[in-house]
Structure formats: C-alpha cells, structure tokens
Amino acid sequence: MVNIQTNSIAWETLLDLAAYDGPRHVRLELAVRDAVASGRLPAGAALPPSRLLAASLGVSRWVVTEVYGRLTAEGILDARTGSATRVAASVGITAPRPASAPAAPLRRPRFDLVPGVPDLRHAPRALWLRAMTETLAETPDAELFRLDGEVPAARAAVAAYLSRSRFARADASSVVVTHGATDGMRRIARTLRGLGHAALLVEDPSWARMRQVAAAEGLASVPVPVDEHGVDVPAMVAASTRTGARAALVTPAHQFPVGAALSPERREGLLAWARAVDGVVVEDDYDAEFRYDRRPIGALQAMAPDRVVLVGSLSKTASPAFGVGWLVLPTWLQGTIRDAGAATPSTLDQLALARFLTTGGLDRHLRAARTRYRRRREALLAELGRALPECPVSGIAAGLHVVLDLPPGVRAADVVRGGEQHDLGLSDIRRYRVSPDAPAPERLVLGYGDLADPLVAEAVRLLAQVVRNAGRGL
Amino acid sequence: MVNIQTNSIAWETLLDLAAYDGPRHVRLELAVRDAVASGRLPAGAALPPSRLLAASLGVSRWVVTEVYGRLTAEGILDARTGSATRVAASVGITAPRPASAPAAPLRRPRFDLVPGVPDLRHAPRALWLRAMTETLAETPDAELFRLDGEVPAARAAVAAYLSRSRFARADASSVVVTHGATDGMRRIARTLRGLGHAALLVEDPSWARMRQVAAAEGLASVPVPVDEHGVDVPAMVAASTRTGARAALVTPAHQFPVGAALSPERREGLLAWARAVDGVVVEDDYDAEFRYDRRPIGALQAMAPDRVVLVGSLSKTASPAFGVGWLVLPTWLQGTIRDAGAATPSTLDQLALARFLTTGGLDRHLRAARTRYRRRREALLAELGRALPECPVSGIAAGLHVVLDLPPGVRAADVVRGGEQHDLGLSDIRRYRVSPDAPAPERLVLGYGDLADPLVAEAVRLLAQVVRNAGRGL
C-alpha cells in the first residue's frame, strides 16, 4: 500500500476538470484515468471520500460516486467495504513510452533510375476512385458482409482479363486474388512447403524479394544462371537433379533484370522438365503488359495450366498502393492454397478490382502507360547512345528497365555511390544476385518507370559524368 | 505426330477471322490461339504454308508469317527448318473447364436475429468513400509507393482512437494494422506458436472463428466455463496448471455470447495469473464501442499493456467489407509479430483508415449507430417481454445481442429449424460451445445488429410462434 498523504494533495490540481470536454462526470473520469495512467496516482493510492472530493472540485456528490463506481467496475479503482477507495494494486503503471519518431517523409530520388518502380506520377487514381465509388454506390448490403474472403466477381474478372491480355488459361475457379506478387509468392511457398518441397530453383540474378519470401517460408533458393535467352534450362535441370528441387520461379516474358524473353526451345524444355519431375513452375509475370516492339508474348501458363502457377499484380501496371494481385493455379493446387490461412484483400477492394477490370479502367490506363513508357525508353536509349556510346545497352523492348554495361575498369558500386551525390538513383546488378559477392560483370540496371520525362537527358548526363569520374578513380 | 489432313480442312472456317476484332494479324493470332486452346488444332497438327493460308483467308502473306513467328517465339507453334509449321508437341491441351457455377446471390434472412452481423443497411459507405476520395486526391506520389506494408499514419491514428475511446495504452509503435479480428488472431496465434505455445485457453461458449484460426495455427483450444460475471478465472487458472497453457483469449468488455462484463475481481485475477505464468492475454474487444447504460468499460489492456494484446476491427462498428482491424501489442511481441509474414491491408486502405479515424468519420458513425442500436434493443426487449414473458433475457446493455432462455421442454435446435420456415434467422447457443454435443441449457443468442427496425415486432411474433410450436412438438 502506498503511503500517500491524500490530505495534502491539491485534488483540484491533480484532477483538473477544465482540461477536458463534456459533462462533469465524463471530465472527472478522464482526469482520474489520466492521473492513474501517468503514475501521478500510483497503485494503492487512496482517493478522498466522495463527499470531500465533490467539495474540492465543486461538483455534486453523484458525479464522484458515479465515477468511482465506474472505475471500480473496471478494476482501476478498488473499493472494499469499510475502507477508502484506492487505485487498484493490479494497475500496472508503465512509464509513458516516447512517441514514435515521426516517419521520415517518403521520397524518390529526383533522377529516379531505380528499377521496380512504376510511374508514380501517373498512377490511375481517378480510374480506381471511380471503380471504388461505383462499388460503394451499387453493391447490395448483403454483398458487403462476407465471412469468406473470396469475392467471385473479382476472380471472374481477373480470369477474363488474363485470358484476353495474357492468353492465360484461367477461369474464376483457378484464380485467387492476393495482395500482390509478394503475397502470392508467400502463399505458393507456404503451400509448396506443406506439400514437402524444401527448395526453389531461382534465376540468378533475379528480383530478391520474391525469393526472400519463399526462403522465409522454408524454401531454400537454388540459383540457376541466366543468359540472353532467359534462364539456362539445361542448367536448371542439372540443379534439379543435384538438389531434388522440383519447383522453379521464372520470369519468361521478360527476365528480371537481364531483360531476355525465354526462347521457345527453353519454354518447351522447362515444361518438359516440370512434367518429368512432377514439378511446379511459378511464372512471375511482373511486367509482361509492357512490350513495345510487338504484342506481348503469351503467358507460359497457357501451355501447361496443370504445371504453371501464374503470379501477377497491379503493382507495376497501376499502383502498388492498391494492394491487389492474383494467382492462377492448377486445379490440384487450388484447395491446398486456400487452406493455407492468409488474409485476402478486403471485399471492397476485390469488388473495386472487378469493376476496374471489367469496365476497361485498367485497359485505358495501360494504353496511355504503354505509349508513355515506350517514348521514355526511346528517349533514354537515344541519350545513352549519345552520352555513353561505349556502353552496350541490353534487354528486349519491354518492361520498365534496361541493362547498361560499364566501361572496362569502372566499378558499378562506385557509380551507384557517385550517383547518390546528385540525387541520381542507380542499381548495381549485383543487388539481384543470389550471392552478391560472387564475381560479376560491372553492370547497372536502369529503371525508367518513375523517371520524369523532362529529366531524362539530365539524368543521363549525370550518369555519364559519374561513370567517367568512377573511371578516373574519383 | 498427329496425322491430320490439312488439305481437307476448311481453314477459313477453323480460323474464322470475322469472330475477332482488331487488325488482321491480331485476329489471326487470336483465332490460332483459340483453335489450339480448344483442341481443334491438336499438338503436332501441321499448319498450311504461309502462302496457302494467306490465300485461304484472304490476307497478305505478311500477316500469316507474322503470326506464325510470334506463336513460334512463344512455343505454341514449332517451325523447324525444312518442315511444316506445326502445333508444338509440348502444348498441353486441357479440356475446357466448366465455368464456375454462378455464385448464389448473398442474402441475409428477412428476420435477421443471427448474431455477429452489424447493421448492413447503415454501413458508413459515404464516410468511408470520403476518406478514400481525400486520400486519393491528397496523398503525395511517393507515399503511394511503399515496399514495407506499414503506414505510420494509420498506426498513429489507431493508437489515438483507442487511447481516447477505449482508454488503451497505445502508441504508433505498439499498433499493427490488420485485415480484421480474425486476421489479427491468426497473426498472434502464429507468433505464439513460434514462441513455443501449444494451447490457448478459450471461453466456453465463445465465437468459434477466433479459436478456429488459432487451432489452425497449432494452438489447441482449452475450454474454460463462463458465468454471469464473465469467464471463470479460478477455473482458467486450474486449466492453465493442468495443461500448461499460458495464453488466454477473452472478451472482458462483453462476453460473447453470454453477455457478461468481466467483474473487477476477475480482471485483477486474470492479470495476476498472466504475470505469474509469464503469460499472454488476448483481449477480443469486438463490440465494446456499444454500451447503452453507461460509457464503455475501458480496455483490460490499459491495466497491463505488457501482458495484454488488444484485438479490434471496424467489422462490427462500421463494415466487414472495409477489411481493416488492429492489434495493440506489448513491446516484447512487436518485433516477433512483424516477422511472421502476413500481408497488411493496402497502403490506400491504411491511409483511408487514418483519415476515417482522425477526421471523426468513425465517431460520427458510432454516435448514430449507438442510438439506433439502443432503440432497437429496447424495442426487442419490450416485444420479447410481451410475447415471451416466461423466457428470461440476459446480457448487459451492450453490443448487438442478447441471450434468451427457452421454456422447459423446448429445444433450441427445434426453434432454429422452425425459424427457417419463416425466413427467421436464429442461433442455438450450442453453436458457440467448444464441444457442441455437451449438455447445455436451451438458449438462443439473438443478434439484433442487422434486424430491420420495422420488422422487430413481427420477428418476435414469429419467434414466439415457433417457440410455442416447438413446445407442442410441432
């Protein structure tokens, strides 16, 4: 019991009702709660009899008994018969924690050549808002109450979109709506782990986040080299034989980051391998909607819907903020993945996604985005040809990035560091290696998704400057 | 190799360009894809030389070579030099799957007395849309691109809301935004399992979904009885000693379904137990915002923020369609739960949640909802008193449900079945028992969250009728 001299306390100061809004009993309740929470009234402290406190504070006695009763019911005060009302011994005072440091405002580099970022200035905010507005205006009440997270209209809309845009073999039953590609990968990995898989063949280099979530779910990454025809399928078969891995994560339409399209022979070889080992191919279709020299190559999934899981999202095509993506699954995986216990996007988001797809919102956005990215890519290549003619640029005319080979003697790490001085965001291709310390050619992956069009020339001028400085050891 | 008589095929019928839109090369590509996908052109089938097909279809030869080239690059066709272009042997034809059966339209019973459903007719659609509209209009571009799913503004807004409405001890660092209470429970359960917990003490009866997701993550349910003062804490301590369980899931503000508030002595006993066994209390605060006879009782979490995880959501207060909820976590659990690998709501939804809370959208909605539910509850109780005076009604003046004792000889299961005849949705309290087959008093849990106000009298009249019929063995 704390020996607190209640007589000497200025109760009207400790419980300052003027600091609160509302009726008196509410203000007194808040004042007592704050005094207890802050430790000014510690566990065991006695409160004055209600008559005395009422007089000190200039309130009716009812106000005090009401508040004492309420806080006693809650266990904050303790009012044993025949003794003073006290702060309960069980109240665990924690020193007020420091408020979280205010989050640094998010920002992108002014000259943003970092890959993996779409054009943030042109996110289809208005088209998405329209889909959301119509959804909120028109969805019947009962549709807004779903215990099961799956919204059939969203699954059907995704299936229709992928059938026409990616020639996928999809129907509503094969689609799972996810939060995005990473979430999709996590769910596949968890499911494969549950089925006994322990390893995942991955392209090297590749987008690190996808293999990291698989690794976090227990699938070890088995690296397979990549060349200008995409992933080296004979090497993959050999790695599968060596390790027993029967699952592969690939980017057939546009290898990240090398920028190759998987050759027809390799597509065939990959599927033959998957059939031979009773395996699974995870097709990360991350930017296949953007192809500038021809219509996009169809999804590998169409050739073997029983072996290929197609992973996609709106993150690169529209905005990562919408938090929606999808999986297209072989029949035999559909039940298992649904049982793996992961939250789906909200009913509202799934209904908005369905509208965004079926009313042509995404198509409209993609038409504009393709034109914008194609022009930006052309401008970037033209500037690179002028400013760095000695540096080969590679990658098919697709997606949101190219690969730049640096001149002999120039280290990519130095160039990246040099760029930071000018607010020029760059990426060493080593970032995407499974083992970043292995010897590798000196290359940059230049993303132009978020590069502002008026800054293309200036970005390349700065890049050429830091390349030359790095070459001179500066 | 399939022996297909290409000469005898009417190519202009098989590849009917009139069935497609767009330029000729696009239409031909789609026609070939469909013919392959449907099996009309099986693996190995030879296609005519480009000159002949061009003549059959009345298109230029370029159109045909373009399409052949494209589909060959994709591995759908196979064009070895010196031989006919054929459908690739690797094309896996799947018989077209039957389209998913159209989903039955979701509906609620006309007389909806099923608990767990808020007022769907009064979901705050407009207030949420306003939050979403402002978010889309005002969020800077860079904020829409987050690789990390956590949005600091949302965590801070939830902490502020819970501090003032639930007197919780929360700051931004202790809050995790979830998809809802079930998602929150799944994440806690996964985390506790990772920390070595194998069992969860649960109230019996209780909301089944919460303990089911915990069980799916590997935490076995250990039932603890409930009476009119809430969960039986001495029995919980005994069950903990017997089984070694050190985690408990409770509903202190308003026990579901019994409707009790946990007594001050038991609140204290529960926390003393948690401290003694180094345990964790999960406080499911599912409907605490609705209290009609006094201000809501404060969260148990405030008394022991180092021992209690607070679980809440907008599902009962606003709408389950918004797909947002929260956890407030002890410091020592914060890192662990973030590493457990679960998707967060989208950046957009989290930013909208922050606005919905900080601009008073939820408060406005709650003020109206409290009045509406209080009146509906009073009307329901009055009608029950008139129509079924022999049936005691229990539960504190809170939340969205009451408990009705049935007259001697009347079985709850018969009443529920009788209700179905009249589109009257009812719930036997056995549904919420951990072992539904154990002997239990004959009681109904009457939810009035979604009961339409004009139908209260008629719903009770029908209820009284089915109770009397069940009593007569009808």
Instruction: Please tell me the predicted confidence (pLDDT) of residue A91.
Output: 67
Residue of B66, B80, B303, B347 best to disrupt the A interface, most CBs of A under 10 A: B303
Q: Picking from A55-59, A87-91, A275-279, B120-124, which range would have the lowest pLDDT averaged per residue?
A: A87-91
Position B81 confidence tier, pLDDT thresholds 50, 70, 90: low
Task: Provide, as residue numbers in chain B, all residues whose Cβ is less than 8 Å from the Cβ of A90.
Answer: 267-268, 271-272, 303-304
Position B69 confidence tier, pLDDT thresholds 50, 70, 90: confident
Pairwise CA distance, residues A398 & A293, whole Å: 8
Nearest-CA distance from B304 to chain A in Å? 5
Pick A255 or A41 by higher pLDDT. A255
Reply yes or no on whether the pLDDT at B266 is more than 80: yes
Judged by CB atoms closer than 8 Å, whether chains meet at A132 and B137 is answered as no
Task: Provide, as residue numbers in chain A, all residues whose Cβ is less than 8 Å from the Cβ of B174.
Answer: 97
> What is this model's ipTM?
0.82
> Which of A70, A120, A121 faces B294 most closely, judged by CB atoms?
A70
> Which of A72, A133, A303 faces B92 most closely, judged by CB atoms?
A303
User: Do A373 and A400 form a contact (C-beta atoms < 8 A)?
Assistant: yes
Instruction: Please tell me the predicted confidence (pLDDT) of residue A101.
Output: 41
Q: Picking from A18-27, B98-107, B204-213, which range would have the lowest pLDDT averaged per residue?
A: B98-107
Pairwise CA distance, residues B445 & B431, whole Å: 10
Judged by CB atoms closer than 8 Å, whether chains meet at B323 and A302 is answered as no
Establish, for the pair of chains A and B, how many residue pairs have beta carbons separated by less than 8 Å. 271
Pairwise CA distance, residues A299 & A326, whole Å: 14
Pick A12 or A359 by higher pLDDT. A359
Instruction: Please tell me the predicted confidence (pLDDT) of residue B129.
Output: 95
Judged by CB atoms closer than 8 Å, whether chains meet at A343 and B179 is answered as yes
Position B104 confidence tier, pLDDT thresholds 50, 70, 90: low
Judged by CB atoms closer than 8 Å, whether chains meet at B142 and A107 is answered as yes
- pLDDT tens digit sequence for B209-255: 999 999 999 999 999 999 999 999 999 999 999 999 999 999 999 99
Judged by CB atoms closer than 8 Å, whether chains meet at B173 and A97 is answered as yes
> Which of B33, B103, B307 faces A167 most closely, judged by CB atoms?
B33
Reply yes or no on whether the pLDDT at A82 is more than 80: no
Nearest-CA distance from A379 to chain B in Å? 23
% of chain B residues with pLDDT over 70: 94
Task: Provide, as residue numbers in chain A, all residues whose Cβ is less than 8 Å from the Cβ of B186.
Answer: 341, 343
| Coil/strand/helix, residue A250 | strand
- Name the token pair of A272: 């033959």
Task: Tell me where in chain A the CATH 1.10.10.10 domain(s) lie.
Answer: 17-91
Nearest-CA distance from A474 to chain B in Å? 32
CATH class of A123-363: alpha beta
CATH class of B17-91: mainly alpha
Task: Provide, as residue numbers in chain B, all residues whose Cβ is less than 8 Å from the Cβ of A321.
Answer: 139, 143-146, 346-348
- pLDDT tens digit sequence for A164-214: 999 999 999 999 999 999 999 999 999 999 999 999 999 999 999 999 999
Taking residues A108-126, what's their average pLDDT?
A: 93
- Name the token pair of B239: 């069950």
Reply yes or no on whether the pLDDT at B95 is more than 50: no
Position B16 confidence tier, pLDDT thresholds 50, 70, 90: confident
Instruction: Please tell me the predicted confidence (pLDDT) of residue A36.
Output: 82
Mean pLDDT of all residues in chain A? 90
Reply yes or no on whether the pLDDT at A123 is more than 90: yes
Task: Provide, as residue numbers in chain B, all residues whose Cβ is less than 8 Å from the Cβ of A322.
Answer: 346, 348
Judged by CB atoms closer than 8 Å, whether chains meet at B348 and A99 is answered as no
Instruction: Please tell me the predicted confidence (pLDDT) of residue B101.
Output: 41
CATH architecture of A369-471: Alpha-Beta Complex (3.90)
Judged by CB atoms closer than 8 Å, whether chains meet at B345 and A324 is answered as no
Position B100 confidence tier, pLDDT thresholds 50, 70, 90: very low
For the CA atoms of B328, B334, B336, B340, what is the dihedral angle to 10 degrees? 50
Reply yes or no on whether the pLDDT at A157 is more than 70: yes
Instruction: Please tell me the predicted confidence (pLDDT) of residue A93.
Output: 46
Taking residues B357-366, what's their average pLDDT?
A: 95
Residue of A34, A62, A74 best to disrupt the B interface, most CBs of B under 10 A: A74
Instruction: Please tell me the predicted confidence (pLDDT) of residue A104.
Output: 53
- pLDDT tens digit sequence for A305-349: 999 999 999 999 999 999 999 999 999 999 888 776 778 899 999
Taking residues A53-57, what's their average pLDDT?
A: 87
Position A71 confidence tier, pLDDT thresholds 50, 70, 90: confident
> Which of A75, A143, A323 faces B348 most closely, judged by CB atoms?
A323
Position B10 confidence tier, pLDDT thresholds 50, 70, 90: confident
- pLDDT tens digit sequence for A381-438: 999 999 999 999 999 999 999 999 999 999 999 999 999 999 999 999 999 999 888 8
- pLDDT tens digit sequence for A350-385: 999 999 999 999 999 999 999 999 999 999 999 999
Taking residues B332-341, what's their average pLDDT?
A: 81
Judged by CB atoms closer than 8 Å, whether chains meet at A321 and B91 is answered as no
Q: How many CA atoms lie within 13 A of A139 on its CB side?
A: 30
Among B455, B461, B450, residue whose Cα is nearest residue B107: B450
- pLDDT tens digit sequence for B283-321: 999 999 999 998 888 999 999 999 999 999 999 999 999
Residue of A346, A363, A451 best to disrupt the B interface, most CBs of B under 10 A: A346
Task: Tell me where in chain A the CATH 3.90.1150.10 domain(s) lie.
Answer: 369-471
Task: Tell me where in chain A the CATH 3.40.640.10 domain(s) lie.
Answer: 123-363
Judged by CB atoms closer than 8 Å, whether chains meet at B26 and A295 is answered as yes
Reply yes or no on whether the pLDDT at A232 is more than 70: yes
Judged by CB atoms closer than 8 Å, whether chains meet at A186 and B341 is answered as yes
Reply yes or no on whether the pLDDT at A28 is more than 80: yes
Task: Provide, as residue numbers in chain A, all residues whose Cβ is less than 8 Å from the Cβ of B323.
Answer: 343, 345-349
> Which of A88, A182, A345 faces B268 most closely, judged by CB atoms?
A88
Taking residues A130-144, what's their average pLDDT?
A: 91
Nearest-CA distance from A89 to chain B in Å? 9
Rg (CA), chain A: 31
Task: Provide, as residue numbers in chain B, all residues whose Cβ is less than 8 Å from the Cβ of A178.
Answer: 343
Judged by CB atoms closer than 8 Å, whether chains meet at A117 and B145 is answered as yes
% of chain A residues with pLDDT over 70: 93
Position B260 confidence tier, pLDDT thresholds 50, 70, 90: very high
Taking residues B87-91, what's their average pLDDT?
A: 77
> Which of B133, B331, B343 faces A183 most closely, judged by CB atoms?
B343
Nearest-CA distance from B347 to chain A in Å? 5
- pLDDT tens digit sequence for B170-212: 999 999 999 999 999 999 999 999 999 999 999 999 999 999 9
CA-nearest residue of chain A to B107?
A142
Nearest-CA distance from A331 to chain B in Å? 10
Nearest-CA distance from A410 to chain B in Å? 30
Nearest-CA distance from B340 to chain A in Å? 9
